[in-house]
């Protein structure tokens, strides 16, 4: 009597069948991720952003991702309100953008998100009261320079992270959102961190990833609140990008330049309420998801952070020795 393939498989011991089933499910999930990756990052076109309004407010536009997104949006014909703490840098980046795209309009607002929030917010309200704000890009962010245990971080450093990464985007959103509610259209893009979705924890960067976790949940809740008002809220979660927040990094397969990242990030505006904008970051996420247990990732990330900590301490000692 001939035995079918199913009968042969089911007749095997469970400790043989179970790994085969797990492997099959894992393979299907990975293939689905590849198909999703192909559609999102290769096939799907960017949206017409002018439908939200002609002006974009961008925080942290003088360096890194914020500056690259400002250029990318200006190239698409969007007018810009640049919000930062350094007037000289704001003037410089404004001149650079106008030199490349002279047809757009630009305004600058000086706000020190770690300090004069009340006065700065008043200046922002004044700057946007007579224009059609279509989008807000909450990009400004800070982190500690090197990995540290929580008890080693001084109060000024972690308070600064809380103010800039958590309090500032909340306040700026509260200023801009009423303009969008009145028009019943608009988009708020919050720049989060891959540390909140790609890996289960981020030891030695606890305060930073904690503030970014807040941004993730704030974005999800606001999206549910305001989608019926025609307002789209999105949290973009990049992994490593070559910026001032990640000193010492060089561009690689998994680490794009700000310009490379910004092109992908702008093209993703208006789609999922939470997404990983850059193609290789999504592949990185898919590979992480293949890990069978979170505690393994926890250990790997902790070891990586400790290695960075040791290298940083070694460089600091060498620098001290050279100066002495």
Whether residue 285 lies in the annotated active site: no
Q: Which long-range CB contacts under 8 A does 193-198 form with residues at least 24 apart?
A: 193/237, 193/238, 194/237, 194/238, 194/239, 194/240, 194/276, 194/281, 194/284, 194/285, 196/237, 197/237, 197/274, 197/276, 197/285, 198/237, 198/239, 198/276, 198/281, 198/284, 198/285, 198/288
CATH architecture, domain defined by 47-288: 3-Layer(aba) Sandwich (3.40)
Q: How much is the mean pLDDT over the chain?
A: 88
H helix runs in the chain, sequence order: 5-10, 14-38, 64-75, 87-100, 117-128, 155-162, 168-183, 206-226, 258-267, 279-289, 294-323
Choose between 199 and 281: higher pLDDT. Answer: 281
Query: pLDDT-derived band of residue 1, with 50, 70 and 90 as boundaries?
Result: very low
**Average pLDDT, stretch 89-101?**
97
Query: Do residues 159 and 142 touch, judged by C-beta distance below 8 A?
Result: no
Active-site choice (202, 205, 208, 285): 208
Query: Do residues 273 and 234 touch, judged by C-beta distance below 8 A?
Result: yes
- Rounded to an integer, what distance in angstroms lies between the CA atom of residue 223 and that of residue 186? 11
Q: 304 in helix, strand or coil?
A: helix
Residue 17 predicted with pLDDT over 70: no
- Rounded to an integer, what distance in angstroms lies between the CA atom of residue 222 and that of residue 218? 6
97-108 pLDDT per residue, tens = 999 999 999 999
The two three-digit tokens of residue 7, written as one number: 């009968």
User: b or e along 247-271 (b: 16 or more beta carbons within 10 Å of the residue's beta carbon)?
Assistant: eeeeeeeebbebebbbbbbbbbbbe
pLDDT of residue 246: 75
pLDDT of residue 196: 85
Residues 6+ apart with CB under 8 A from 17: 9, 10
**Average pLDDT, stretch 72-85?**
97
Q: What 8-state DSSP symbol labels residue 39?
A: I
pLDDT of residue 312: 72
What pTM did the predictor assign? Answer: 0.85
143-165 pLDDT per residue, tens = 887 888 999 999 999 999 999 99
């Amino acid at each position: 009597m001939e035995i079918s393939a199913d009968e042969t498989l089911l007749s095997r011991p469970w400790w043989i069948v179970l790994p085969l089933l797990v492997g099959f499910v894992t393979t299907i999930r990975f293939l689905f991720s590849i198909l999703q990756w192909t559609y999102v990052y290769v096939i799907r076109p960017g949206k017409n952003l002018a439908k939200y309004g002609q002006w974009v407010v961008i925080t942290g536009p003088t360096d890194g991702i914020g500056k690259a997104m400002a250029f990318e949006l200006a190239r698409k014909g969007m007018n810009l309100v640049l919000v930062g703490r350094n007037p000289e840098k704001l003037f410089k980046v404004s001149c650079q953008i106008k030199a490349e795209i002279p047809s757009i309009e630009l305004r600058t607002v000086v706000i020190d998100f770690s300090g004069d929030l009340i006065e700065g917010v008043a200046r922002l309200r004044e700057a946007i009261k007579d224009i059609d704000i279509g989008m807000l890009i909450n990009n400004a962010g800070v982190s500690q320079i090197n990995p540290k245990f929580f008890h080693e971080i001084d109060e000024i450093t972690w308070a600064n992270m809380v103010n800039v990464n958590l309090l500032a985007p909340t306040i700026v959103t509260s200023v801009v959102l009423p303009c969008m509610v009145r028009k019943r259209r608009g988009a708020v893009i919050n720049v989060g961190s891959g540390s909140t979705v790609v890996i289960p924890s981020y030891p030695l960067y606890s305060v930073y990833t904690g503030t970014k976790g807040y941004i993730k949940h704030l974005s999800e809740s606001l999206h549910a609140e305001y989608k019926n008002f025609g307002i789209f809220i999105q949290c973009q979660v990049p992994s490593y990008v070559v910026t001032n927040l990640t000193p010492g990094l060089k561009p690689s397969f998994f680490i794009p330049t700000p310009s490379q990242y910004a092109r992908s990030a702008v093209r993703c505006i208006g789609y999922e309420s939470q997404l990983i904008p850059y193609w290789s970051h999504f592949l990185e996420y898919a590979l992480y998801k293949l890990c069978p247990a979170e505690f393994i990732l926890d250990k790997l990330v902790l070891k990586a952070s400790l290695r960075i900590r040791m290298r940083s301490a070694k460089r600091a000692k060498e620098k001290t020795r050279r100066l002495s």
